[in-house]
Amino acid sequence: MNLPNIAAVERAAVEAVNTVTITDIHTHLFPPSHGDLLLWGVDELLTYHYLIAELFTVAPKGLTHEAFWKLSKQEQADLVWEHVFLKHGPISEAARGVLTCLSALGLDAAGRKLAPVRKWFAQQKVDAYLEKVFQIAGLDYAVMTNNPFAADEIGSLKQALPCPDRLKTALRIDTLLLDWPAAAKMMRGQGYKTAAKADVRSYTAAVKFLVDWAKKIRPLYMAASLSSDFAYPSRGGSTAMLDKVVIPAARQTGLPVALMIGVRRQVNPALRTGGDGVGVADVAAVQHLCQKYPDVKFLVTLLSRVNQHELCVLARKFGTNLHLFGCWWFCNNPSIIEEMTRMRMELLGTAVTLQHSDARVLDQLLYKWKHSRAVIGKVLAEKYRDLYVAGWRPTEEEIRRDARAMLGGRFEEFIKT
């Protein structure tokens, strides 16, 4: 049944986004069976690299990076709490996110005391807690990042340890594209005949490596995070790896290739994982890949706000093999999410995955999706209001269909067809 007026349409749009089941298509989470690789709890939230970087914008001058990294996790968290939350207003998106997480769990964010919060987390069993977080966040599943080139992950991956249905795999291939000598060494250690300087035999072995790992962990896609100066084609090694290894492996496995482009690595190495920055990427690299390989699917997100319009236009031209997703990393702020969401709806309709969490800490699923739902619901209500004014009379079912499409449904269609 059609909705009776504009107000009802707007309410239905907000309600649809707030209640629809979401698929989180890119995270850095792990199953509980992988031990310490799965980060969770208040101290992990407070020492997330966003907040460590923010700490050093307000911390006393006497606090050096060297001294900070020598502290225990709890001591680091105490410093962030003291200087970012107590001595300054926690108004940044990362700081507000911590408070949203605590509130979603029924914890006292206003009490300003960490001890009772830590006590509550210490009482949780990780398997049950993971399920609790997914239920509160309203997710069906999240896609992990699983790296066969990472020494601390290989053992767990080879053992095929238990993994809940809430988590699906993705095959990470950054090292292969960016550091062939390191990749070749890692592959040799796993029994593949790869030389320190890439040759034909090495390429063949590397393809087999990816195909074998795909059979082992059954990923939904292969993925790489690339710098802002990534170009394709180029004389650099990444072009050879794409042409001779990644694309052949994608064809053999039927897996899409996810490219996340725009990072400037280690702008400030003293911040460690928080030391990366952002740069404007060359969208033509994506264009050239889509043109050259129309039979291969590409999932793409770019880090710079500057790139978003050009990327949206490109996605209109390659609807069969290019799918845009998420407001990645430095774009994951409400003002930018709103701008990108509105632009994507206006240029792509529902043929986009509006958001992913990129969560590295399990609890972050709570705030990233609560905050994103609020923004996306607002924009979708605006767009359906415009349709109503134009003479269209949507039903609740149609609005809910569209919300699901842009929050996981179109992704699933794209990777399967």
pLDDT digits (tens, 9 = 90+) for 60-88: 999 999 999 999 999 999 999 999 999 99
pTM greater than 0.95 (yes/no): yes
Q: Are 313 and 286 in contact (CB under 8 A)?
A: no
What DSSP letter does each residue of 81-138 carry, written as one string?
A: IIIIIISS---SHHHHHHHHHHHHTT--STT--HHHHHHHHHT--HHHHHHHHHHHHT
Residue that is written with structure tokens 């208040």 in the block: 42
Q: What are the structural domains of the chain?
A: 6-33+125-175+204-416 (3.20.20.140)
Peptide bond connecting 148 to the previous residue in cis, omega within 30 degrees of 0:
no
End-to-end Cα separation, the chain, in angstroms: 31
Bridge partners, residue 394, by sequence: none
Q: Are 328 and 301 in contact (CB under 8 A)?
A: yes
Which bin fits 138, alpha (ψ -120 to 50), beta or left (φ > 0)?
A: left
Name the 3-class secondary structure at 353: strand
DSSP annotation of 332 reads -
pLDDT tops 80 at residue 1 = no
Q: How many helices (DSSP H) and strands (DSSP E) are in the chain?
A: 20, 9
pLDDT tops 80 at residue 417 = no
Q: Are 77 and 163 in contact (CB under 8 A)?
A: no
Q: If pLDDT is split at 50, 70 and 90, which confidence band does 135 have?
A: very high
Mean pLDDT of the chain: 97
Instruction: Please give the structure tokens belonging to residue 44.
Output: 């992990």
pLDDT digits (tens, 9 = 90+) for 108-117: 989 999 999 9
According to DSSP, the β-strands at 257-264 and 277-278 are: antiparallel
Kindly list the distances between the CA atom of residue 114 and the CA atoms of 93, 119, 189, 404, in Å, as whole numbers in the listed order: 20, 9, 44, 37
**Cα separation of 395 and 401, whole Å?**
10
**Cα separation of 71 and 158, whole Å?**
33
Residue 37 identity (one-letter amino acid): L
Q: Are 136 and 107 in contact (CB under 8 A)?
A: no
pLDDT score, position 385: 97
